[in-house]
Amino acid sequence: MEYILETNNLEKRYKKFKVISNLNMHIPKGAIYGLIGKNGAGKTTLIRVLCGLQKPTGGNYSIYGISNESKEIIKTRKRIGAIIEVPSLCYDMSAIDNLKEYAKIIGNPSLDNLGEILNLVGLEGTGKKHVKNFSLGMKQRLGIAITLVGNPDFLILDEPINGLDPEGIIEIRELILRLNKENGITFLISSHYLDELSKIATCYGFIDQSRIVKEISKKELEESLRKRITINVSNIKECVKYLEENKVKYEVISNEVIDIYQKINISDMIIALSKRDCIVNEYQEKGESLENYYLNLIGGAENV
């Protein structure tokens, strides 16, 4: 597999305190990589190191196969756009003037595609309106537009939906998906909004106690999420007897409700139970959430 970014036993220490250590992560080309971890797990520190804002104290990493120890890394970093914590915007300027200003800062001589970038993020109609009058979602989209000025193919977004209202969250989600699908941009997104992240991520890295404890693709995750069938029955005793006889894994939830944790032929079970004077009033197939998976992985809610 081709990786845009790989780390090898990466470490960042402040005095004796290791914020990240033995950290190994792999971001495939074209992925939307969701970096998940509780507050203080080291996400921002990791991102700052990867963006070259801080030096690792151990291990190394490569971007597009270029090691951080090579001189070439400075040029390679130009292929990355990043927003760390909050986007830096000039509030008394229009959206287009913000882009022009940034283009000047990074020494980008061509201003031709700036209108196109505003189109991409859906801010083309904002004209002379100053950024201070933008909604939070618009400001965040402008932040992403600024990262696009250097024409990067890898974007790193640290908590991109923090503080956004539901409408703003949807705008950012759609923008990320569009840039990924239509422009082939790879993303590294850190977030503690697991539900939201699960709507866009194609793979995940779970960070806990300074390390990546698990990397998993969306497909693998979906396969490993424990599925269950919840049934509501008229005669719980008979139902339990039937499940025991057929060696089915189950859990009694209440006097009427049972959760079944394995694949079964539900029609056969309904017929068999009806012969035992037990009616299945309702059944529903449910999947475990990303949040549950994460909590199991890091050892329970008390650790969040």
Provide CB contacts within 8 A for 13, sequence distance 6+: 19, 21, 57, 58
Write down the least CB distance from residue 45 to ligand ADP, Å.
3
Write down the least CB distance from residue 28 to ligand ADP, Å.
22
User: Looking at beta carbons only, is 37 or 205 nearer to ligand ADP?
Assistant: 37
User: Looking at beta carbons only, is 211 or 228 nearer to ligand ADP?
Assistant: 211
User: Looking at beta carbons only, is 42 or 137 nearer to ligand ADP?
Assistant: 42
Write down the least CB distance from residue 159 to ligand ADP, Å.
8
Closest CA to 24 of 212, 159, 206: 212
Identify whether the C-beta of residue 23 lies closer than 8 Å to the C-beta of residue 208. no
Under the rule (CB under 6 A), what is the footprint of ligand ADP?
14, 19, 37, 39-45
CA distance 293 to 206: 10
User: Which two structure tokens, joined as six digits, stand for 10?
Assistant: 């990466």
User: Looking at beta carbons only, is 158 or 171 nearer to ligand ADP?
Assistant: 158
Write down the least CB distance from residue 295 to ligand ADP, Å.
17
Write down the least CB distance from residue 42 to ligand ADP, Å.
5
CA 299 to chain centre: 20
What DSSP character marks residue 292? H
What DSSP character marks residue 211? E
User: Looking at beta carbons only, is 84 or 93 nearer to ligand ADP?
Assistant: 84
User: Looking at beta carbons only, is 94 or 191 nearer to ligand ADP?
Assistant: 191
Write down the least CB distance from residue 174 to ligand ADP, Å.
25
CA distance 11 to 112: 41
Strand partners, 35: 190, 205
Identify whether the C-beta of residue 272 lies closer than 8 Å to the C-beta of residue 231. no
CA 114 to chain centre: 28
Neighbours of 128 (CB within 10 A): 9
CA distance 179 to 32: 10
Write down the least CB distance from residue 208 to ligand ADP, Å.
10
User: Looking at beta carbons only, is 94 or 210 nearer to ligand ADP?
Assistant: 210
